[in-house]
Amino acid sequence: MSPKKILIVDDEPDLVETVRFPLEMEGYQVLVSNNGEEGLNQARKEIPDLIILDLMLPRLDGYKVCRLLKFDERYKHIPILMLTAKIQEKDKLLGKETGADEYMTKPFDIDTLMEKVKFYLSRG
Amino acid sequence: MENRVLVVDDEKEIRSFLSKALTQLGGFHVDLAENGEEALQKMEKDFFDLVLTDLKMPKMDGLQLIDEIARSRPEILTVLMTGHGSIDSALEAMRRGASDYLTKPLNLDELLVRLQKVMQERTRFISLKEYANQLEQSNEELKRIDEMKSEFVSVASHELRTPLAAIKNAVQLVLKRKTGEINETQAKFLSMAERNIDRLTNILNDLLSLSRIESGKVTMKFEDLELKGVIELATSSLKPHADVRSLRLEVQVPEDLPHVYGDREKIERILINLIGNAIKFTQEGGQILITAEPYPHTGKQGHGGMVSVSVRDTGIGIPEEHLKSIFEKFYQVEGSLQRSVGGTGLGLAITKGLVELHQGTIRAESEIGKGSTFTFTLPVSQGERRESHFRFIFDGEFKRAQSNHTPLTLFLMELPDQGIERSDGLSELLEERVKRCFCRKSDTVLIRKQERLLVAICEADLKGARVIRQRIEEAFPKYPQEGLDGSPRIKIGFATYPEEALSKRDLFGKAKERLREWT
């Protein structure tokens, strides 16, 4: 069985590195995009098993990327974990409207993230 | 600077007399015009402080001129000169914007005094207006700066989160042995780093909360709340922390505590902050007691319309000189455990802000070595206020009716909007008027002014109650002002014991229901 494919879309290289490392340790294949537009294209081309998506991204923000994928029959099955530095309630709601499966506030617990990833991958 | 006056009169003698008098005796700079039209032309070219005009003139008369000036040049003062017997025109001129009037024949002293007075008033008015403008401007500026401050805190706290996340992840990766084995000491120091990252995150969260509270950006979701449930929930969520330190956590809330009007999440946060503090500052084996009761406790309960909640601990206490300041941002009691227990220094400031968003107050009492008590108040919900009030006032009457097997009718009367809040005298009058509709003077009639509600109880069965209702209706055909938009009558709802309701609560519920349906 080929390894599960996870796409990280985030413009912060250090943060990407600290998320990529444990995912690869778990044996996942990790793809990275550092802006929203590239992330969207890569998601459409590669059809990953899960996407970890930052909210504030250059070119195309995380909400839009999420909406474009979740409201498209071909991609809506891909679980999306949204990461964000915004903690206000209304942002949280907006995240839900875009159809994100999970919403995590920075800074987060790395183990919690890994558990969520495992959960959504086993579900699919 | 000398004041400029334009004299407008169709009589040449008067013009030259006024010109001379005002220039030589009043020290004014004077210009002359024969009628309203010429005056307006002159005003286009030159600036005048004041226009002194005659009433009757060909082409454009004094009133028309005053009208025109009031419309197009309101900064220019106008004074009308009228003959004897035309006081009506003079008053009309004042109504249209003239500052004053003089009657002919003119008295020179009076003329000068009046003009000077009018000018002085204007100078005073202008400087007041300037002052008001300045205040308004600096107020705007302050608002803008405050806005910038909140914006800054918000952006800063967001911007700091991403690097914090990277640090936290990196530390956790090493600490959780994802990168290979580490020794005890390395683990200890990395744990310390992790703990402090969490603390920094808490400070950021608190800063953001406080900034939002201070800038009025918090949206409140007010609802009718049963406080007991909220307190129990908050307490149970902190139970594990209390257990770790062998602290007894106890809740004492009376079953019949009036409901409060508040935002559930915010009240939970207030409670969690206060109970959390109590846990932090109480030594092992201590006790924390959470109580709630109607406030103020004296007199009839629930009357003040608030409920007070107290969190009492048997902890280390707060020195008296610090009690006043503990609700300030980043205030720390010297030599306190604050740092070692990892507080953000913002918890109490946030708590106070959240209490105040409920129109409540918070205070702290403490005795060194014995413990501290934090007490805050929350408003009783409006619907609840009527009920709790009722709960305490008719106990005696109801019990008497029950033991004597006599009927009892409760009346709720809602008065029309107008008038009732105008003065106490008026409500006394109303009370008197309502009382007269009941059979006996001893029947209780109570007025609740703020809520426009009148509550009365009397010994009457259903049949008697209907008679009383009719009497009240007749006594208030068009209260309070006859004929004014055919103003609504008094609204009446009643219920009778034992025919319609058996408990006091049901009696009130039924009467309230009827009151609502009253058309």
Q: Give the per-residue pLDDT at B33.
A: 92
pLDDT bin (cut points 50, 70, 90) of residue B519 is low
Contact B169 A25 (CB under 8 A): no
Q: Give the per-residue pLDDT at A52.
A: 96
B169-184 per-position pLDDT tens digit: 999 999 999 899 999 9
- Nearest-CB residue to A85 (from B158, B167, B168): B158
B501/B79: higher pLDDT: B79
Cα–Cα distance measured from residue B337 to residue B333, given in angstroms and rounded to the nearest whole number? 8
CA distance B152 to chain A (A): 14
B328-376 per-position pLDDT tens digit: 888 776 655 555 556 778 899 999 999 999 989 999 999 988 999 999 9
pLDDT bin (cut points 50, 70, 90) of residue B299 is very low
Contact A15 B173 (CB under 8 A): no
Q: Quick one: closest CA in B to A104, which residue? A: B165
Q: Give yes or no for a contact between B8 and B52, defined as CB atoms under 8 angstroms apart.
A: yes
pLDDT bin (cut points 50, 70, 90) of residue B479 is very low
Preceding peptide of B488 cis, ω within 30°: no
Does residue B386 have a pLDDT over 80? no
CA distance A106 to chain B (A): 5
* Range picked from A63-67, B72-76, B457-461, B467-471 for highest mean pLDDT: A63-67
CA distance A45 to chain B (A): 28
Q: Give the per-residue pLDDT at B108.
A: 86
CA distance B200 to chain A (A): 10
Domain B394-517 matching CATH 3.30.1340.30: the answer reads no
Cβ of A34 under 8 Å from any chain B Cβ? Answer: no
Q: Give yes or no for a contact between B56 and B13, defined as CB atoms under 8 angstroms apart.
A: no
Residues of B in contact with A23 (CB under 8 A): none
Mean pLDDT of A9-29: 94
pLDDT bin (cut points 50, 70, 90) of residue B191 is very high
Is B468 strand, coil or helix? helix
B215-252 per-position pLDDT tens digit: 887 888 888 889 999 999 999 999 999 999 899 999 99
Residue to mutate among B154, B158, B218, B265, with most A CBs inside 10 A, is: B158
According to CATH, what is the number of the domain B225-382?
3.30.565.10
Mean pLDDT of B491-502: 85
Cβ of A24 under 8 Å from any chain B Cβ? Answer: no
Q: Give the per-residue pLDDT at A111.
A: 92
Contact A108 B165 (CB under 8 A): yes
Residues of A in contact with B179 (CB under 8 A): 21
Strands in B206-282 per DSSP E? 222-225, 248-252, 260-263
Cβ of B205 under 8 Å from any chain A Cβ? Answer: yes
Does residue B464 have a pLDDT over 80? yes
Same topology, domains B4-106 and B225-382? Answer is no
Q: Give the per-residue pLDDT at B278.
A: 94
B442-453 per-position pLDDT tens digit: 677 766 655 567
Does residue B423 have a pLDDT over 50? no
Q: What is the mean pLDDT of chain B?
A: 83
DSSP-based helix, strand, coil % in chain A, nearest 5: 45, 20, 35
Q: Give yes or no for a contact between B54 and B28, defined as CB atoms under 8 angstroms apart.
A: no
pTM of the model: 0.58
Sorted by where each begins, the domain ranges of chain B are 4-106, 150-214, 225-382, 394-517
A31-35, A116-120, B272-276, B474-478: range with lowest mean pLDDT: B474-478
B417/B515: higher pLDDT: B515
A-B contacts (CB, under 8 Å):
54
Does residue B270 have a pLDDT over 90? yes
Q: For each of the domains in chain A, give its residue range(s) and CATH number, in order of start.
A: 5-123 (3.40.50.2300)
Cβ of B201 under 8 Å from any chain A Cβ? Answer: yes
Cα–Cα distance measured from residue B510 to residue B497, given in angstroms and rounded to the nearest whole number? 11
Does residue A108 have a pLDDT over 50? yes
Residue to mutate among B151, B155, B160, B162, with most A CBs inside 10 A, is: B162
Residues of B in contact with A106 (CB under 8 A): 161-162, 164-165
A48-62, A97-111, B170-184: range with lowest mean pLDDT: A97-111
Is B363 strand, coil or helix? strand
Q: Give yes or no for a contact between B364 and B374, defined as CB atoms under 8 angstroms apart.
A: yes
CA distance A55 to chain B (A): 11
Cβ of A42 under 8 Å from any chain B Cβ? Answer: no
H or E segment and range at residue B288: strand B287-295
B3-27 per-position pLDDT tens digit: 899 999 999 988 999 999 899 888 8
Q: Give the per-residue pLDDT at B149.
A: 86
| Span B4-106 CATH architecture | 3-Layer(aba) Sandwich (3.40)
Contact B178 A22 (CB under 8 A): yes
The DSSP bridge pattern shows strands B362-367 and B371-379 to be: antiparallel
Spatial CA neighbour of A51 closest among A30, A71, A67, A37: A30
Cα–Cα distance measured from residue B64 to residue B239, given in angstroms and rounded to the nearest whole number? 82
A113-122, B288-297, B453-462: range with lowest mean pLDDT: B453-462
Does residue A40 have a pLDDT over 90? yes
CA distance A73 to chain B (A): 32
A73-95 per-position pLDDT tens digit: 999 999 999 998 876 655 665 65
- Nearest-CB residue to A15 (from B169, B179, B208): B169
B153/A48: higher pLDDT: A48
Residues of A in contact with B163 (CB under 8 A): 14
Residues of B in contact with A25 (CB under 8 A): 178
Mean pLDDT of A59-86: 90
Contact B173 A18 (CB under 8 A): yes
